[in-house]
Amino acid sequence: MSSDQGLGWAADRMPPTHRAWVEVDLGAIRHNIVAIRRLLKPSTQFMSVVKADGYGHGAVAVARTALSAGASWLAVATIEEGIQLRRAGIDAPILLFGPAICTEEVETLVEYRLQPTVCSLDQARRLSAADLGSIQIHLKVDTGMTRLGVAWQEAQELLSAIRVLPNVTVAGLYSHLATADAIDPTTTLEQFERFAKLVNTLRRQGIRPPLVHLANSAATLTFPDTYFDLVRIGLAQYGLYPSSHLQTVVALRPALSLKARIVFVKTVPPGTGVSYGHTFRTGHRTRLATVSIGYGDGVSRALSNGIDFLVRGRRVRQVGTITMDQCLIDVTDVREACEGDIVTLLGRDGEEQISIAEWVERLKTIPYEILTTLSPRLPRIVCGEAVV
């Protein structure tokens, strides 16, 4: 984020110098969290996942909004992300989705009261040996994601070994679902059954950790049995669905818009090559507008000649190769388009809307990648709700 402590600018105070920016509707994020919470039991806690700068929306602003809307936990991927939240005055418990692997990391997470993930006895011993007081940890169990975590068959033994270590308290037990967004539930059910079996065994032995969690956004929308004590919500709180078949479960509102300004307009004759490599040539007398945004801002070069933008509420075609800082659009049919006009790349302008799904289809990727590759040099402009 461009302003102090990553708070973002309010929309009504946007500096006129902005060439391109991201608008974040905090009201939409609040709406999404409230809507998702209606699916849960009152006792089920809500963890707001704000890693990768809140999926490109601005971590501090999102975290504050989420907590005010009923979230009780936050989650980050790096220690630096946790530090940012603490320095902004956020006091909620924060889960770190990864282990501490050196003494300096252990000291820092203790200083900033972050709860790390532990996947092995060696990792737990490292925390214990630091002798920095009781460190709250979450034991990660691999039930089929094969990324982080102790094998589910070995988790009981590991938990028992960790419980006798000084300076370490197992506050949580969790796993991650690999295919919860798929139509076929087979793998998700298999993972759930493995995890549930482990949890039941630990309960019978009287060593079940106080907080057990499994559900991500997709599972929260489809598998109530996976809720346990807490759900971890990332993409859905930002108003996007992990998969198109989940759109009927709850009404979500996209929170992010991407905008830039027209900085130059000119008319060229037929047969004119446009931008690097002349990947587009005009077929008729064409009015072109240069837009002040490019792949250096996160607008993938692979989108070149394949997407629409919005100008004055109308769709126009992006033409030519997208360059690092600029790209071009054909505004022949928008005669009033001029320098200074706002161009919407993602979001709504009047009755028209460009959805992230259009970019997903063109790039053959997922919304997560598009959101998190929007450059930090794009200021985040908050709207819809004041940032406290």
Catalytic positions are 51, 276
Amino acid at 199: V
Q: Identify each DSSP E strand in 42-198 by its residue range.
A: 45-49, 73-76, 94-96, 114-118, 135-142, 150-151, 168-175
Angstrom CA distances, 387 to 7, 8, 62, 93, stand at 7, 9, 9, 20
In this structure, the chain runs to a length of 388
- Whether residue 1 is annotated as binding a ligand: the answer is no
Closest CA to 96 of 88, 106, 87, 104: 106
233: left (phi over 0), alpha (psi -120 to 50) or beta: beta
Label each residue of 278-303 as H, E or C. Answer: HCEECCCCEEEEEECCCHHHCCCHHH
Taking a C-beta distance cutoff of 8 angstroms, is the pair 56, 30 a contact? no
Q: In whole angstroms, what is the distance from residue 27 CA to residue 386 CA? A: 9
- Whether residue 47 is annotated as binding a ligand: the answer is no
Count of C-beta atoms within a 10 Å radius of residue 361:
12
135: which residues sit within 8 A by CB, 6+ positions away? 106, 109, 110, 115, 116, 127, 128, 167, 168, 169
Indicate the annotated binding residues for substrate: 147, 324
Indicate the annotated binding residues: 147, 324
